[in-house]
């Protein structure tokens, strides 16, 4: 067997795994065990959230880069990537179903492991490593000592695919940490923030606040916070302002008063209620003729907050609902042929629009077309009813190789306009193609690179000849 080809290498690995499995006795792996293994490794590769929500498009693209259509067809493991219900996505769902072993072997190989290695690897998801973890309360006797035994994982609200770890010491000091992959101490420090200071920390602040011999900065250093944070915590505890002996540095400013007034949950909610109601009424006054839907578009965050917290008030201040033109047709009454023709035209127009982006090439994918047309759901879940649309999609969607060729042509055009003759490395960098990318070795891409470089060299030679001819003419004219 020729092992130079990627398909042959993958087949050899899978056959070795299959042989190893057949020689095992009393081997049993639960669905939960495999599911945990898959989730852990998909997250580490940026293909899922830490809770196991798979990024479908990214997963399918990575899987198709690893396995060619030939090998998937040979192993009877093809799938319709435009559907949201095929074996690859189903494999990562936590269900008590038995899947074909060959599909597990394909997936395990895709993740870079052998079947034997799966049994030896830890499957429990531990993005912050094994405990215990240190207490960060400077006034606690366990400061920087590994005494915290539990880590609570919650989603990162700014980047929901990544977790936030929360750690609570017995002293009550609770902190959270982002960036679980950070290794340097200074980087870790920047990714940590305090949630609760705890009774020990607060009692120390109360004691030091009344000590005239210690400055505000000294207290802040002793408690491990900034002076402004210290003053805010003092305001929350309703300590004396200004401090005795330091009137200038500890005045109760309007910001601190606001901070204190919003420390009480009930007061904070009332302030927010007043703010959102006022904002909503101002928008209604500025746009008295807007419909409900348009009004919601203008002040969506205010609308959502009011809907959650005071729906009755919101309903009385909304414009009357528009009359319904008719109920939604059941699926059996939808004119699928008409919808198919219309959507196929939209898909074609969207693909042309995506390709026409001159700033930087964007790959024509089902997801990108769905975003452009606003018909993502139809393209994913109703494609079986839309044969013409499916055909247009198949024609318009770019493979990785086709997109690479288009990027090379785009990069070459940019160099041509600037009359620059680049090296191959400069052309690849402009086209955002890494030298280590598997696409560089693809014949179609290699030919595109060679053709682009040859064209640029020829153009540069012609340009030089034209310049030389012009210079000669000038010299003759001067003579």
**DSSP state at residue 289:** T
Where do we find the tokens 């040859």?
Answer: 454
pLDDT (0 to 100) of residue 48:
84
Q: How many CB atoms are located within 10 Å of the residue 441 CB?
A: 9
- Model confidence pTM above 0.85: no
pLDDT in tens, 50-92: 777 888 888 888 888 888 888 898 888 888 877 777 888 888 8
State the DSSP string of 296-365: HHHTHHHHHHHHHH-HHHHHHHSPPPPPP--PPPPGGGS-HHHHHHHHHHHHHHHHHHHHT--SS-----
Cα(6)–Cα(12) distance, integer angstroms: 10
pLDDT in tens, 226-260: 888 888 888 888 787 777 766 555 666 666 666 56
Instruction: Give percent of the chain above pLDDT 70.
Output: 82
Q: Quick one: 303 exposed, middle or buried, by C-beta within 10 A (0-12, 13-18, 19+)?
A: buried
Cα 85 to chain center, whole Å?
22
Q: Which long-range contacts (CB under 8 A, 24 or more apart) does 181-186 make?
A: 181/127
State both tokens at 250: 């500890």
Cα(167)–Cα(16) distance, integer angstroms: 44
pLDDT (0 to 100) of residue 187:
39
Phi, psi of 40 (to 5 degrees): -60, -45
Cα(36)–Cα(51) distance, integer angstroms: 10
Longest dimension (CA), the chain: 98
pLDDT (0 to 100) of residue 292:
81
Contact 433, 407 (CB under 8 A): yes
pLDDT (0 to 100) of residue 251:
64
pLDDT of 391 > 80? The answer is yes
State both tokens at 392: 């247009």
Distances (CA, A) of 39 to 107, 130, 365, 378, 393: 12, 18, 25, 28, 30
pLDDT (0 to 100) of residue 96:
56
Contact 462, 419 (CB under 8 A): no
């Amino acid at each position: 067997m020729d092992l130079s080809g990627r398909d042959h290498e993958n087949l050899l690995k899978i056959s070795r795994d299959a042989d190893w499995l057949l020689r095992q006795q009393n081997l049993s792996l639960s669905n939960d065990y495999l599911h945990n293994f898959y989730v852990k490794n998909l997250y580490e590769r940026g293909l899922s959230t830490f809770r196991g929500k798979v990024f479908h498009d990214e997963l399918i693209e990575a899987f198709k880069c690893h396995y060619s259509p030939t090998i998937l067809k040979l192993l009877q493991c093809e799938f319709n990537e435009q559907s949201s219900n095929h074996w690859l996505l189903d494999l990562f769902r936590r269900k008590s179903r038995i899947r074909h072993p060959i599909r597990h072997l394909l997936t395990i190989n895709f993740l870079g492991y052998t079947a034997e290695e799966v049994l030896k690897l830890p499957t429990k998801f531990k993005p912050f490593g094994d405990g215990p973890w240190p207490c960060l309360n400077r006034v606690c006797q366990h400061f920087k000592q590994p005494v915290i035994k539990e880590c609570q994982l919650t989603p990162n609200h700014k980047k929901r695919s990544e977790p936030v770890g929360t750690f609570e010491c017995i002293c009550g000091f609770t902190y959270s940490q982002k960036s679980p992959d950070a290794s340097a101490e200074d980087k870790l420090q920047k990714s940590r923030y305090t949630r609760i200071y705890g009774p020990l920390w607060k009692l120390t602040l109360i004691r030091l606040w009344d000590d005239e011999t210690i400055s505000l900065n000294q207290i802040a250093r002793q408690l491990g916070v900034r002076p402004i944070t210290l003053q805010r915590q003092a305001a929350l505890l309703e300590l004396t302002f200004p401090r005795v002996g330091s009137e200038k540095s500890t005045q109760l400013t309007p910001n601190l008063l606001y901070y204190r007034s919003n420390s009480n949950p009930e007061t904070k909610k009332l302030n927010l209620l007043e703010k959102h109601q006022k904002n909503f009424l101002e928008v209604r006054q500025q746009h008295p003729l807007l419909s409900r839907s348009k009004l919601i578009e203008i002040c969506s965050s205010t609308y959502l907050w009011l809907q959650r917290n005071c729906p009755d008030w919101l309903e009385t201040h909304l414009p009357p609902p528009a009359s319904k033109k008719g109920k939604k047709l059941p699926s059996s009454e939808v004119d699928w042929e008409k919808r198919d023709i219309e959507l196929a035209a939209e898909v074609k127009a969207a693909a042309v629009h995506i390709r026409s982006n001159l700033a930087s090439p964007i790959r024509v994918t089902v997801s990108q077309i769905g975003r452009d047309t606003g018909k993502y759901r139809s393209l994913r879940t109703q494609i079986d009813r839309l044969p013409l649309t499916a055909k247009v999609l198949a024609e318009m969607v770019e493979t990785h190789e086709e997109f690479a060729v288009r990027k090379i042509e785009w990069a070459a055009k940019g160099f041509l306009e600037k009359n620059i003759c680049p090296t191959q490395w400069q052309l690849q960098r402009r086209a955002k193609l890494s030298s280590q990318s598997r696409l560089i070795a693809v014949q179609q891409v290699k030919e595109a690179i060679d053709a682009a470089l040859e064209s640029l060299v020829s153009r540069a030679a012609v340009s030089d000849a034209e310049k030389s001819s012009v210079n000669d003419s000038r010299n003759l004219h001067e003579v």
